[in-house]
């Protein structure tokens, strides 16, 4: 089953009235399930509402680019929702060293808050028995990846992590897989200049990665630069299947199984 393992359906770039159209487009493209991720306390409830749909599940977390808006107890506020059947994992959390610290924030203090929130998300995931979705991003080099990986190493026996929108070299992906984690690939893998990502994706054995859109961002070819949506995970699948030398059907099957094993997809009554 083709699954979009990472999208943001409560984004301001989607109107609530459009959601049924997006879900229908996804269905027509053969997308059987979607995971929509919260990024703050503000979009938590809109995501839960969208996840009332049987084919949509949500993750709860504070995005690293939102930690300055969040109250100090934001992660403990999330703990009230981990038993909700619409919730399938913790996230989106992580480290973002790409964007500069917001106005009035010292860079080091901002990063320390991201690190602190990431650790708290791991604690929450461990106590709830849920897995975790990690974002890392750097301007150059891999500092955010390395810092997030070393925190993950401390929790690897109790929580599994997916490093989403993975764009790093194979040696970095291998570190995640060696720790028992997963990576996921989205639209960037279809970009002309993204040879390294495709090489990484070609090296990943079945069971070690998932597919995603990260919509509304990072639309794959041939929609690059436009608003992304879950249906376009179809393009990611077609493109990566060709590069990996397997059928799209085979890729759909093993990435779908991987997602079903990673997320806790619960029936919603």
Please report how close the Cβ of residue 238 comes to Zn ion at its closest, in angstroms. Answer: 22
Of 215 and 241, the one with the shorter C-beta distance to Zn ion is 215
Minimum Å gap between C-beta 20 and Zn ion is: 22
Q: Which is nearer to Zn ion, 58 or 241 (CB)?
A: 58
For the CB of residue 11, give the shortest distance to Zn ion in the complex, in Å: 9
Distance of closest approach, residue 91 Cβ to Zn ion, in angstroms: 8
Q: How far is the CB of 93 from Zn ion (least distance, A)?
A: 10
Cα(154)–Cα(139) distance, integer angstroms? 26
With respect to Zn ion, which residue has the nearer C-beta, 37 or 177? 37
What is the per-residue DSSP string for 24-75? HHHHHTTEEEEEEE--SSTTHHHHHHHTTSTTEEEEE---GGGTTTS-TTHH
Q: Which residues of 85-120 are buried (b: 16+ CB within 10 A; e: fewer)?
A: ebbbbbbbbbbbbeeebeeeeeeeebbebbbebbeb
* Of 92 and 229, CB closest to Zn ion: 92
Q: Which is nearer to Zn ion, 161 or 241 (CB)?
A: 161
**For residue 90, how far is the Cα from the chain centroid?**
10
In the complex with Zn ion, the residue whose CB is nearer, 191 or 217, is 217
CB of 21 to Zn ion, least distance (A): 21
Terminal-to-terminal C-alpha distance of the chain: 22
Q: Which chain residues interact with Zn ion by CB under 5 A?
A: 92, 214
Q: Is the peptide bond before 222 cis (omega within 30 degrees of 0)?
A: yes
Helix (H, G, I), strand (E, B) or coil at 89: strand
């Amino acid at each position: 089953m083709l699954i979009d393992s990472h999208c943001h359906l409560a984004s301001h770039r989607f109107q609530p009235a459009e959601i049924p159209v997006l879900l229908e487009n996804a269905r027509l493209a053969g997308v059987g399930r979607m995971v929509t991720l919260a990024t703050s306390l503000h979009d938590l409830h809109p995501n839960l509402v969208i996840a009332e749909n049987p084919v949509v599940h949500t993750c709860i977390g504070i995005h690293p680019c939102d930690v300055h808006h969040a109250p100090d107890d934001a992660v403990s506020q999330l703990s009230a929702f981990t038993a909700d059947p619409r919730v399938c994992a913790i996230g989106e959390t992580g480290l973002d060293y790409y964007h500069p610290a917001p106005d009035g924030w010292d860079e080091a203090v901002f990063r320390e808050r991201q690190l602190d929130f990431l650790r708290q998300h791991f604690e929450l995931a461990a106590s709830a028995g849920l897995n975790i979705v990690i974002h890392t991003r750097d301007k150059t080099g891999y500092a955010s990846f390395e810092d997030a990986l070393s925190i993950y190493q401390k929790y690897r026996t109790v929580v599994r992590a997916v490093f989403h929108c993975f764009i790093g070299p194979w040696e970095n992906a291998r570190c995640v897989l060696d720790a028992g984690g997963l990576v996921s690939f989205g639209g960037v893998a279809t970009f002309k200049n993204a040879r390294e990502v495709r090489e990484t994706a070609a090296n990943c054995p079945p069971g070690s990665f998932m597919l995603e859109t990260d919509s509304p961002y990072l639309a794959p070819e041939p929609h690059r630069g436009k608003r992304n949506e879950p249906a376009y995970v179809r393009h990611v699948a077609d493109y990566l299947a060709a590069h990996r030398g397997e059928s799209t059907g085979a890729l759909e099957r093993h990435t779908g199984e991987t997602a079903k094993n990673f997320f806790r997809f619960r029936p919603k009554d």
